[in-house]
A and B are shown apart, each in its own frame.
Chain A
Amino acid sequence: MTQSIIELNQVSKTYSTERIETVALHGVDLEVQAGEMLSIMGPSGCGKSTLLNLIGLLDEPTEGDIALFGETIRNHSDKRMASLRNDAIGFVFQSFHLIPDLRVVDNVEIPLLYRNLGGKERRKLALEALERVGLSSRVNHFPTQLSGGQQQRVAIARAIVGRPKIILADEPTGNLDSHMGDEIMQILTGLNADIGTTVVMVTHDREKAERTGRIVRIFDGQLVH
């Protein structure tokens, strides 16, 4: 028995500046079931990242509805959106986005900062997450002291430390060589298989996409079936 965890209904997104309007997404319908692993593919500039940002509640659609866990997100306050992101979603970015001023373990703790957790509890969870990505030996390094693959593993640890139901990964292997990319893919598929985390991944690498259960193609702001 599966349940629809992410549901997009006729979602459009338009970016407007003073002079021009750019349509990034146009009338997108999408349903993702809990425990699914899904790739979004398409050429660059087609709206993949916009779609991911909308699912991640980092941005709001111009038209249409987005529902997470059956709850439609509309006119939520900044606080409410923030806490939804905090609880339900973990992000992995192409360029890692680790905070250079913080040590690895402090970087991983970030999502827990915005929950009411004690310092010891946070540390424990962060170390667990790092163990899961195989980086227990690097907890006190600064991000700049790590290789790209290691940095991305830290970013995944950060994404999973809060035990979110959904992980959104935006070209997670885009900045890595194929060997490191494989490692990252293994971790992501492992997460999906072991604890049933829903993974939505943007990529333009066909080989990587084929390792996921479903591929959604997007072209010029619209889904191609």
Chain B
Amino acid sequence: MQQLEQDIKALIISSLALEDITPDDIASDEPLFVKGLGLDSIDALELGLALQKRYGVTLSAESDEVRAHFASVRALAEFVTAQGKA
């Protein structure tokens, strides 16, 4: 899980072109959207695409669960693991 979280942090940084930040600067349980890292809705779409390409996971845009999965790096890592894709 530790390595998966690190990989997801690196994926966030590369797919969203975040500047001046390393994976170690992202706390696994900090909010990703609005607060914390401060990502927005376009970032959500871009990150969803990056996760699909990297891990083959798909997130339905309609699902209420999506918000919970995207809450933090840890939540994303748990989702990817649960999908059997890690």
| B and A form one assembly | no
Chain A residues in contact with chain B, CB under 8 A?
A: none
Residues on B facing A (Cβ under 8 Å): none
